[in-house]
Amino acid sequence: MGVNCIHCGEDCGKHPVLLDDKPFCCHGCKTVYQILNTKEMGQYYRIRPMSGIRIEQTETGNKYAYLELEEIREKLLDFSDGGFSKVSLFIPGIHCASCIWLLENLNTLNPGIIQSAVNFPDKTVSITFKDEQISLRQLVELLASIHYIPEITLDKLDKKESQRSDRNVLLKIGIAAFSFMNVMLYNFPEYLPGGEELGGFFTRVFGWLSLLLSLPVVFYSASDYYLSAFKGLKHRMINIDLPITLGIFTLFFQSAYEIISGHGIGYMDSLTGLVFFLLIGKWYQGKTYQALSFERDYKSYFPVAVTTLVDDNEQTIPLSKLKKGHHILIRNQELIPADSRLVKGNANIDYSFVTGESLPVPKNMNDFIFAGGRQVGSTIELVVEKEVEQSYLTQLWNQDSNKQQSESGLNTLVNKVSESFTVAILFVAFSAGVYWLLNDSSLALFAFTSVLIIACPCALALTVPFTFGSTMRAFGRSGFYIKNSEVIENLQKIDTVVFDKTGTITLNRSLKARFVGEPLTRDELCMIKSLAASSGHPLSTAVKENIDCEGLLEVEDFQEIPAMGTSALICGKRVSMGSKKFITGKADESSGSTAVYVFIENRVAGYFQIENTYRDGLAEIVNRLQKKYELYLLSGDNASEKKNLSVIFGSGKNLFFNQSPSDKMGFVKKLKENARKVLMIGDGLNDAGALLESDVGLTIADDIYSFSPACNGIVEAGKFDRLYDFLDFSHLAMKVVKLSFAISFLYNIIGLFFAVQGTLSPIIAAILMPVSSVSVVAFATFSVHYLSTRKIS
């Protein structure tokens, strides 16, 4: 899409960092480039102290004052001992080699920093520093000043366990691989003609060795499968892990019996190989996006600490200590953490993330203000009315959290297939057993166990991890990040798509202003732009950005009346801009739309109609989706956009406005009750309930690492127009799964052919099992890769 970084060559995305008109992907690259320019070219990466770095004195003010609080410091630090402390900080901005270099050379910026190490996939940096030379607050401020702003949130403070599960899978794979290779070596003579002439001594030694080596595999590496099968049974469900468990145990006990009784060498090679392949599949599927968070709650949205006023003294306290009756100070762009009442200042609350209203709402003295809004403008003082846990927004989250149980994924295709599969296999095994019992009782038990062994659905169990794992990677490459592979299966069942408006199909902080009235002269336009540029109100910004005019004029006697408008003398002429009431004196009756009226010198010149800007390709994507899916739009905003949206959506009957967060949730619930499979696409907290309620909830994010409500997947904002392709691809992935199932069944039938006759030899098991697994895995991976290069990249 965009330009490439002049330093590292990566895509700069939509907003490159510019220096002398050269584009950079991040401030890290820019900084390194600056060093490069001030020094000789040859000294790249060899510059001793980072002399070239300009630490920008950004105005952090008291933003990080809370880091000096002992209880927050304690929670944040990994350890602190003898004057040294270690802290791990999540920095979403880490994204290229320059970032790693800069962050790992922090010690040249401040001697108090001893060591810093970046974990790239986690996007964290762990820093060891001397307490007496640099405090945690100074450290964070230093990072912020070089544009690596750490994200410190409440939920990160509360839970601190690292992703050990990833390591556990690796350990299990390592042990299984070790046993598999060795056991295969011991069984190798059996694979060759004449192997049985090896002699009883070696058969016994090899047998016992393989029994020994298979113990850690059976009791450690494969333990997750037993647990999962057991859990399934507890819920009265037969999942894919049950036949696997059956297979593993039959293999193990049959082989152990053969070895101990001296009958033979058993099937330990097949057993260890089976577990090894299964674990590889699990690992492949489990490699998700570590740095992305799909499970956020209000804790990661709210600030860690708030500024309170105690006897006119500012004091920072942790959010958990905030009580009813506290006076709190909220500065520009800060979040209101609890439901409270306005006591001082001009409140202008941006609720776009909470309710979907695109414009800030002005509040009057003593008005009740819901938590979650963001103050725009000057500092305000509030009295807390309800504690954080009891605020409206928090309640909305909490009522949802118990809903998540329902999506435990027991209805997946694999489990449905394996249910009938297990029943069928048990039936075949028993019939074979009974048949041989009547004809040749010595073979009965062997035939029975052979069926269970050969039917162990290794290939079947590998199909889904590899197909969906590859699909997830393909999606990830195209800017669509999903939580886990179940989402793919749910995606292809979707028949209804519900959109949110603000931030989802409209661009977040970009409004269109269309002038209505007699055409203005160039000078007049410049005057309006100059006035608009003097105010920070979003509407002023919208007007400013939509007027094309070079240079600003001098503004005198500037006045801004909250909730009304602005006024100033420009070139000796009085120019005013604001609400209809402010400019014309008449009350604004049209509740639907937003307009900024303009007054120049002595007349009302007209007004700017404020409209949302829609994402690129919206009309096209809606058009394509409409052919296959039923579309709805739920907006928390007013109906001012209905006309525009009706054109895009074909008609206005599926467009709903003024929807509260619980309305949205109820709407999705009702759709589901009518047996619709719902895909909800939203972006803010106001969609959180609906996202959880839907079958698949996706959020659109400009920055995928920034806060987004709990969801099943995150779509990069720029890839919004590919949505149809993503949905389409999920169908293809499902077809690949079904084909792979067919292939693995074919192998099973061949195996069963031998098993029911009681002629299954270790060699047939040893050949059939890996061949079926490898061919299924290869088919799944290659076909998904091939399809993805054609369809979605």
Partner 1 sequence: MLSKIFSIFGAFFLNQGKLHTMNILVFLIIIGILVAGGFLVGFIWSVKSGQYDDMYSPSVRVLFDEMKPEKKKIRLSLKK
> CA-CA distances (angstroms) from residue 246 to 241, 420, 714?
9, 15, 38
For residues 608 and 611, give the distance between their C-alpha atoms in angstroms, rounded to a whole number.
9
- Stretch of 197-205, 265-273, 406-414, 643-651 lying at the interface with partner 1 (CB under 8 A): 197-205
Window of 44-52, 502-510, 571-579, 776-784 that interacts with partner 1 by CB under 8 A: 44-52
For partner 1, the closer CB: 26 or 600 = 26
Instruction: Indicate whether 91 belongs to the interface with partner 1 (CB under 8 A).
Output: no
In this chain, which stretch among 94-102, 226-234, 374-382, 389-397 interacts with partner 1, using CB under 8 A?
Answer: 94-102
Q: Are 454 and 754 in contact, with CB atoms under 8 Å apart?
A: yes
- Chosen residue from 33, 148, 186, 301 binding partner 1 by CB under 8 A: 186
d(CA 580, CA 589): 9
* CA distance linking residue 701 with residue 717, whole number of Å: 5
234 forms part of the interface with partner 1 (CB under 8 A): no
Give the one residue of 122, 407, 495, 663 binding partner 1; rule: CB under 8 A.
122
Q: Taking contact as CB under 8 A, which single stretch among the options 166-174, 261-269, 432-440, 479-487 is the one that binds partner 1?
A: 166-174
Q: What is the dihedral of CA 331, 335, 337, 343, to 10 degrees?
A: 40
The residues, ordered by sequence, that sit 6+ positions from 230 with a Cβ below 8 Å of its Cβ are none
- Tell me the window of 67-75, 140-148, 198-206, 657-665 that interacts with partner 1 (CB under 8 A): 198-206
CB of 777 to partner 1, least distance (A): 21
Direct distance between the N- and C-terminal alpha carbons of the chain, in angstroms, rounded to an integer? 12
Which residues between 574 and 613 bind partner 1 (CB under 8 A)? none
CB of 290 to partner 1, least distance (A): 9
Kindly state whether residue 390 participates in binding partner 1, applying the rule CB under 8 A: no
Q: Is residue 79 a contact point for partner 1 (CB under 8 A)?
A: no
- In angstroms, what is the minimal distance from the CB of 211 to partner 1? 14
Among 2, 9, 121, 262, binds partner 1 (CB under 8 A): 121
Taking CB under 8 A as the criterion, the residue among 58, 115, 223, 789 binding partner 1 is: 115
Q: Which is nearer to partner 1, 185 or 647 (CB)?
A: 185
What Rg value do the Cα atoms of the chain yield, rounded? 32
Rounded distance between C-alpha atoms, residue 699 and residue 687, angstroms? 9
Kindly state whether residue 561 participates in binding partner 1, applying the rule CB under 8 A: no
- Binding residues for partner 1, how many (CB under 8 A)? 36
Report residue 643 CA to chain centroid gap.
33
Which listed residue (3, 18, 40, 202) binds partner 1 by CB under 8 A?
A: 202
Q: Which of 110, 128, 412, 781 binds partner 1 (CB under 8 A)?
A: 128
**Residue 658 — left, alpha, or beta (φ > 0 → left; ψ -120 to 50 → alpha)?**
left
Site for partner 1 contains 46 (CB under 8 A): yes
Q: Are 293 and 270 in contact, with CB atoms under 8 Å apart? A: no
Which range of residues in 17-25, 201-209, 239-247, 551-559 is near partner 1 by CB under 8 A?
201-209
Among 14, 15, 160, 167, interactor with partner 1 by CB under 8 A:
167
Contact at 8 Å (CB) between 174 and 142?
Answer: no
Q: Where are the alpha helices (DSSP H) in 440-569?
A: 441-454, 458-477, 486-491, 522-533, 538-545
Task: Indicate whether 84 belongs to the interface with partner 1 (CB under 8 A).
Answer: yes
| Residue with smaller CB distance to partner 1, 50 or 376 | 50
Beta strand 17-19 with 22-24 is antiparallel
Determine if 171 is a binding residue for partner 1 (CB under 8 A).
Answer: yes
Binding flag, residue 105, partner 1 (CB under 8 A): yes
Choose the binding region for partner 1 from 18-26, 118-126, 147-155, 501-509 (rule: CB under 8 A): 118-126
> Which tokens is 296 given?
């956020």
**What's the min distance (Å) between Cβ of 465 and partner 1?**
19
Q: Which residue, 119 or 781, is less far from partner 1 as judged by CB? A: 119
> Is residue 126 a contact point for partner 1 (CB under 8 A)?
no
| Closest by Cα among 680, 538, 776, 244 to 252 | 244
Q: What three-state secondary structure class fits 119?
A: strand
Of the candidate spans 16-24, 119-127, 231-239, 660-668, the one that interacts with partner 1 by CB under 8 A turns out to be 119-127
| Position 289 contacts partner 1 (CB under 8 A) | no
Does position 36 interact with partner 1 (CB under 8 A)? The reply is no
Q: Looking at 114, 149, 520, 564, which residue binds partner 1 (CB under 8 A)?
A: 114
Q: Which C-beta is closer to partner 1: that of 106 or that of 633?
A: 106
Of 45 and 673, CB closest to partner 1: 45
Q: Does 291 bind partner 1 (CB under 8 A)?
A: no
d(CA 395, CA 298) in angstroms, rounded, equals 10
**CB 704 to partner 1: min, Å:** 17
Return all residues near 140 (Cβ < 8 A) that are at least 6 apart: 64, 67, 89, 150, 152
Cα torsion 711, 713, 715, 721: sign? negative
CB of 481 to partner 1, least distance (A): 17
48 is a contact residue toward partner 1 (CB under 8 A)? yes
Residue choice 3, 18, 55, 170 for contact with partner 1 (CB under 8 A): 170
In 192-240, alpha helices (H): 200-216, 223-234
Distance CA(285)–CA(244), nearest Å, equals 18
Is residue 107 a contact residue for partner 1 (CB under 8 A)?
A: yes
10, 68, 71, 104: residue in contact with partner 1 (rule CB under 8 A): 104
Q: Could you say which of 17, 39, 112, 178 contacts partner 1 (CB under 8 A)?
A: 178
Q: Which of 79, 81, 197, 201 binds partner 1 (CB under 8 A)?
A: 201
User: Alpha-carbon distance 123 to 41, whole Å?
Assistant: 30
Of 34, 182, 250, 783, the residue at the interface with partner 1 (CB under 8 A) is 182
Nearest to 278 by CA among 464, 414, 450, 425: 464
DSSP 592: S
**Residue number with CB closer to partner 1 (178 or 435):** 178
Q: At what angle do helices 723-756 and 441-454 cross, to 10 degrees?
A: 170
* CB proximity list for 304: less than 8 A, separation 6 or greater: 66, 72, 152, 153, 154, 157, 318, 319
Question: Of 185, 227, 434, 749, which one interacts with partner 1 (CB under 8 A)?
Answer: 185
* Binding piece for partner 1, criterion CB under 8 A, among 72-80, 182-190, 541-549, 611-619: 182-190
> Which of these segments, 111-119, 369-377, 431-439, 648-656, binds partner 1 (CB under 8 A)?
111-119
**For 186-203, b where at least 16 C-beta lie within 10 A, e where not — what string?**
bbebbeeeeeeeeeeeeb
Q: Can you give the three-state secondary structure of 697-759, one letter per residue? A: EEEEECCCCCCCCCCCEEEEHHHHHHHHHHHHHHHHHHHHHHHHHHHHHHHHHHHHHHHHCCC
Helix (H, G, I), strand (E, B) or coil at 603: strand
Q: Considering beta carbons, is residue 289 or 745 the nearer one to partner 1?
A: 289
Cβ atoms < 10 Å from Cβ of 283: 16
The DSSP element (H or E) to which 276 belongs, if any, is helix 268-286
Which residue from 42, 45, 261, 585 is in contact with partner 1, where contact means CB under 8 A?
45
Note whether 192 binds partner 1 by CB under 8 A: no
Q: Identify which range of 104-112, 447-455, 474-482, 588-596 contacts partner 1 by CB under 8 A.
A: 104-112
Residue carrying the six token digits 């060891």? 128
**385 DSSP assignment:** -
CA distance 346 to 401: 35
Positions that interact with partner 1 (CB under 8 A): 45-46, 48, 84, 97, 100-101, 104-105, 107-108, 114-115, 118-122, 128, 163, 166-167, 170-171, 174-175, 178, 181-182, 185-186, 199, 201-202, 205, 209
